């Protein structure tokens, strides 16, 4: 349904969802390129899950327009469903069924033709490394194995677009790395993936990334584009007493955030803050702290802090 190197799989304009007085998603504009891994980064309650539910037709927007795979949503949501997959952290496997039986059941639910079901399941068993476990009950699998099986079930019908809502929060780093390899294999094969996460290392893996905060889109671009915007605004402070130095730097004009990383401090400064390094040095000297302040390359955590600090203030958060 989407073609061409520059095809857009998802386009949203002014996407808004209200629950009573709470604005869960606030006039969000999105363009998700086809055949790429597009990340949704944001804290819990930033509106990521609500946005995904609207994009796949499970929740009606309060305002705005959505086009997914060339279809208008929610009006054409029924036509969209055969072309999408959906997986969450709490994806419900049938624990008293085997790996193979779970796949057979999902194949039937998703309308995979019976003549093709066995070949499709055999392919997934091999691709997701269940050759020696296909008769094992899903409830006895490890956390990482359950996530792989959940992903296999989500793609049993070869969807063109896959939504993944916090899919790896409950698994170990090695299992997450293996899981992401599978996601890139899907993207290479032509699947568009929209992945929500609050984990920085996962966000760094995405081809493109949107940051949501309090229901608003506060940043959008490739990880490289987003970090490049902070060039010259991030510093490392080396000191013998990082806790005391952190207290000295908190509140210095132009300093947006100070975080301890091991035995050093990482400092993010505001745009147009002037000679903030001089003020930092004066604050450290006033606190009797011998410290070295050096520039550091920005990372996505800095991007996240800079983007979300713009909207600091009291207020309810979305689901």
pLDDT reported for residue 318: 44
* Ranges of the chain whose pLDDT falls below 50: 3, 311, 313-319
Query: What local confidence, expressed as pLDDT, does residue 158 receive?
Result: 96
* Residue 125 in tokens: 């068993």
pLDDT at 313: 41
pLDDT for res 316? 40
CATH of domain 230-309: 3.30.70.100
Give 163-188 pLDDT, tens digit per residue: 998 888 767 888 888 899 999 999 99
pTM of the model: 0.88
**Rounded CA gap, 146 and 16, in Å?**
34
Q: Which of 205, 172, 156, 159 is nearest to 37 (CA)?
A: 205
Do the domains spanning 34-48+83-221 and 230-309 agree at the CATH topology level?
no
User: In degrees rounded to 5, what are phi and psi of residue 99?
Assistant: -55, -50
Q: What is the pLDDT of residue 314?
A: 37
Copy the structure tokens of residue 49.
Answer: 């899950």
CATH superfamily of 34-48+83-221: P-loop containing nucleotide triphosphate hydrolases (3.40.50.300)
What pLDDT score was predicted for residue 170?
67
pLDDT of residue 141: 92
Strands in 8-19's sheet, in edge-to-edge order, are 22-33, 8-19, 63-68, 71-73
Render pLDDT for 271-301 as a digit per residue (tens, 0 to 9): 888 899 999 999 999 999 999 999 999 999 9
What's the pLDDT score for residue 2?
53
Extents of the domains making up the chain = 34-48+83-221, 230-309
């Amino acid at each position: 349904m989407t073609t061409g190197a520059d095809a857009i799989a998802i386009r949203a304009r002014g996407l808004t969802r209200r629950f009573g007085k709470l604005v869960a998603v606030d006039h969000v504009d999105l363009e998700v390129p086809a055949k790429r891994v597009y990340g949704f980064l944001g804290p819990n309650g930033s509106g990521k899950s609500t946005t995904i539910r609207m994009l796949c037709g499970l929740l009606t927007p309060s305002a705005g327009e959505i086009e997914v795979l060339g279809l208008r949503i929610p009006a054409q949501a029924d036509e969209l469903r055969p072309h999408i997959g959906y997986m969450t952290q709490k994806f419900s496997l049938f624990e008293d069924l085997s790996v193979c039986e779970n796949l057979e059941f999902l194949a039937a639910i998703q309308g995979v033709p019976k003549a093709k079901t066995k070949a499709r399941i055999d392919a997934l068993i091999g691709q997701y490394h269940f050759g020696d476990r296909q008769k094992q009950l899903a409830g006895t699998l490890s956390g990482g194995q359950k996530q792989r099986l959940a992903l296999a079930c989500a793609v049993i019908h070869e969807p063109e677009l896959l939504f993944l809502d916090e899919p790896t929060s409950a698994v170990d780093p090695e299992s997450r790395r293996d899981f992401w390899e599978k996601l890139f294999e899907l993207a290479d094969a032509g699947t568009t993936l929209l992945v929500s996460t609050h984990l920085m290392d996962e966000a760094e893996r995405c081809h493109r990334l949107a940051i949501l905060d309090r229901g608003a889109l506060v940043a959008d671009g490739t990880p490289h584009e987003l970090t490049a915007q902070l060039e010259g605004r991030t510093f490392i402070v080396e000191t013998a007493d990082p806790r005391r130095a952190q207290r000295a730097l908190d509140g210095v004009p132009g300093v947006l955030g100070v975080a301890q990383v091991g035995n050093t401090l990482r400092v993010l400064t505001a745009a147009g803050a002037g000679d903030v390094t001089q003020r930092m040095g004066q604050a450290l000297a006033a606190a009797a702290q011998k410290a070295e302040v050096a520039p550091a390359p920005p990372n996505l955590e800095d991007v996240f802090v800079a983007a979300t600090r713009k909207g600091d203030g009291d207020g309810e958060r979305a689901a």
